[in-house]
Amino acid sequence: MAENNGKPWWKSKTIGFNVLLAAGLEVADLLGQGGMISPERLALIMGVGNILIRIVTNKPVTLK
């Protein structure tokens, strides 16, 4: 039987980064500060952040 070396989804740095970014954007919007970051800049931040996190991580994520 294959060994499961994955980590639970809640320990994923990538998922955590994306959730925090989305929550921060929602809070900014609720406080009337939405639109301070252009969609292009946001895509760049998300892309670079996810790439950097992916470079330093090596375990797959499991849904369990």
pLDDT tens-place string over residues 27-56 = 888 888 777 788 889 899 999 999 999 999
Q: What's the whole-number average pLDDT of the chain? A: 87
Q: Which residues contact 32 (CB under 8 A, 6 or more apart)?
A: none
Q: What is the pLDDT of residue 15?
A: 93
**Crossing angle of the two packed helices 13-30 and 39-56, in degrees rounded to 10:** 160
Q: What is the pLDDT of residue 4?
A: 66
How far is 21 from 62, CA to CA, in rounded Å? 22
What are the distances in angstroms from CA 63 to CA 20, 42, 49, 52? 19, 27, 22, 23
pTM of the model: 0.77
Mean pLDDT lowest for which of 8-17, 20-29, 42-51?
20-29
